[in-house]
């Protein structure tokens, strides 16, 4: 019986057998690659969730509770300044690049130890809208600006940034005893936290702990 040959000397049956073998090898290789790719994708998604979720950003952070029900998280290597209490607290970052951040939160009347620069109306630019679970009003993190558009500090506000940003939380129009001021400032190394020099927004953003400060504000809840 004469078998029909292909141009290169293989019969139809032989060519079909080779095709099946090659196809099986290719299919097996694709299955192994797909399984590895899926496992790698799941691992990357898991790492992304751990990094962006509370377990990642706030892992090993401490919680500070203010007497009016507000609380916030802060890194364990930041220093709570002596004489801080549940009505007035200052927490300072480590010094990096010859600067440090000071984060201050205070509750009280306008004639106590409130930083009045961050209680009332001033110009500013919104950094982020805060979730702040339990808050009775929307809250924002706003960079307060001066006439030269430099940043005089980052503060809690009840309105978005603009020419007339409402910084702090006013109690009875500011006349009560439960006004809330929460602010963060960039301070030169060796200076007291009360030194609030204006800097450009770029200078703030270039600091290694800038995003840490933003995350402290984002951790606010009530």
Within a domain: 126: yes
Same domain, 108 and 169: yes
pLDDT of residue 115: 85
Among the listed residues 94, 129, 124, 127, the one whose alpha carbon sits nearest the alpha carbon of residue 209: 94
Domain identity same for 211 and 131: yes
Query: Across the chain, where does the E strand assignment appear?
Result: 62-65, 71-74, 79-80, 88-92, 99-108, 120-122, 124-130, 139-145, 151-157, 165-167, 179-188
pLDDT at site 203: 97
Same domain for 29 and 120? no
107 assigned to some structural domain: yes
Distance CA 108, CA 215 (A): 25
3 state SS of 218: helix
Note whether 120 and 36 are same-domain residues. Answer: no
Other Cβ atoms closer than 10 A to 124 = 28
For residue 2, what pLDDT is reported?
41
Look at residue 194 in the predicted model and tell me its pLDDT: 87
Final residue of a domain: which of 52, 73, 93? 52
Distance between CA atoms of residues 215 and 221, nearest Å: 12
Residue 83 is assigned to a structural domain of this protein = yes
Say how far apart CA 73 and CA 59 lie, in whole Å.
Answer: 10
Q: What is the pLDDT, as a whole number, of residue 149? A: 93
118 and 212 share a domain? yes
List the domain range (segments joined by +) for residue 44: 1-52
One domain, residues 74 and 167: yes
Which stretches of the chain drop beneath a pLDDT of 70? 1-55
DSSP state of 80: E
Judge if 86 and 110 occupy the same domain.
yes
> Are residues 212 and 142 part of one domain?
yes
What local confidence, expressed as pLDDT, does residue 112 receive?
79
Q: State residue 135's pLDDT score.
A: 81
Q: Give the whole-angstrom CA distance, residue 64 versus residue 5.
A: 85
The answer to whether residues 98 and 150 belong to one domain is yes
Residues 93 and 170 in one domain: yes
Using the 8-state DSSP alphabet, how is residue 104 labeled? E
Q: What is the pLDDT of residue 7?
A: 45
Q: Are residues 106 and 166 in the same domain?
A: yes
Q: Is 7 exposed, middle or buried (0-12, 13-18, 19+ CB in 10 A)?
A: exposed
Specify whether 68 is located in the same domain as 178: yes
pLDDT tens digits, residue range 203-216?
A: 999 999 999 999 99
Among 105, 157, 153, 141, residue whose Cα is nearest residue 215: 141
Whether residue 57 is contained in a domain is answered as no
Closest alpha carbon to 193 in 112, 111, 110, 95: 95
197 lies in some domain: yes
Counting the structural domains of the chain, the total is 2
């Amino acid at each position: 019986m004469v078998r029909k040959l292909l141009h290169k000397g293989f019969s139809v049956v032989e060519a079909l057998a080779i095709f099946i073998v090659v196809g099986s090898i290719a299919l097996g290789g694709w299955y192994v690659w797909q399984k590895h790719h899926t496992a790698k994708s799941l691992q990357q998604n898991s790492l992304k969730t751990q990094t962006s979720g509370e377990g990642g950003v706030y892992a090993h952070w401490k919680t500070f509770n203010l007497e009016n029900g507000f609380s916030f998280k802060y890194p364990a290597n930041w220093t709570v300044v002596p004489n801080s209490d549940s009505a007035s607290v200052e927490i300072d970052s480590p010094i990096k690049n010859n600067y440090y951040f000071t984060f201050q939160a205070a509750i009280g009347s306008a004639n106590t130890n409130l930083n009045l620069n961050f209680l009332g109306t001033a110009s500013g630019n919104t950094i982020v809208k805060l979730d702040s679970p339990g808050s009775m009003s929307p809250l924002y993190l706003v960079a307060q600006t001066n006439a030269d558009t430099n940043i005089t500090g980052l503060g809690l506000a009840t309105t978005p940034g603009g020419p007339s940003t409402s910084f702090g939380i006013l109690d009875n129009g500011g006349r009560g005893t439960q006004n809330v001021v929460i602010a963060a400032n960039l301070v030169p190394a060796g200076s007291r936290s009360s030194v609030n020099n204006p800097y450009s927004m770029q200078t703030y953003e270039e600091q290694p702990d800038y995003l840490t400060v933003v995350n402290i504000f984002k951790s606010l809840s009530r």
